[in-house]
């Protein structure tokens, strides 16, 4: 009788371990919906959006943001031609030019 109880406990334990292994495999098979890194194109796009927001803010305040818009247009051209790093650098420069105008006011 002890033999059957021990055998039953071993079988139960093995089944539980097997099920938890299968669950772990299923969990590891799922793709992480959140990207771990973003590429240069996405970084450039974000920089362009930020610069655009600063330009819009300056426009609403009636400031002369022509130097910022010129640099922003260069950034957009670089982005559209696939030069994402250059686009990022120019977009950040544009944002800084407009940001200086906003802080001087």
Q: Does the residue 11 lie in any domain?
A: no
Q: How many domains does the chain have?
A: 1
Q: Does the residue 20 lie in any domain?
A: no
Q: Does the residue 33 lie in any domain?
A: no
CA contacts within 13 A on the Cβ side of 59 = 9
Q: Does the residue 68 lie in any domain?
A: yes
Q: Which domain holds residue 63?
A: 40-104
Q: Does the residue 88 lie in any domain?
A: yes
Q: What is the mean pLDDT of the chain?
A: 78
Q: What is the pLDDT of residue 52?
A: 94
Residue 60: closest CA among 105, 17, 29, 20: 105
Residue ranges of the chain whose pLDDT lies below 70: 1-36, 105
- Phi/psi-derived region of residue 30, left when phi > 0, alpha when psi is between -120 and 50, beta in every other case: beta
Q: Does the residue 22 lie in any domain?
A: no
Q: Does the residue 84 lie in any domain?
A: yes
On whether the pTM is more than 0.85, the answer is no
Q: Does the residue 9 lie in any domain?
A: no
């Amino acid at each position: 009788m002890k033999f059957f109880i021990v055998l039953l406990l071993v079988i139960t334990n093995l089944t539980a371990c097997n099920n938890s292994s299968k669950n772990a495999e299923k969990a590891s098979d799922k793709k992480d919906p959140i990207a771990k890194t973003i590429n240069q194109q996405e970084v450039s796009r974000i920089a362009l959006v930020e610069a655009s927001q600063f330009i819009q803010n300056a426009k609403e305040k009636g400031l002369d943001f022509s130097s910022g818009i010129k640099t922003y247009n260069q950034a957009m051209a670089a982005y559209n031609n696939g030069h994402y790093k250059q686009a990022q650098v120019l977009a950040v420069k544009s944002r800084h030019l407009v940001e200086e105008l906003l802080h001087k006011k």
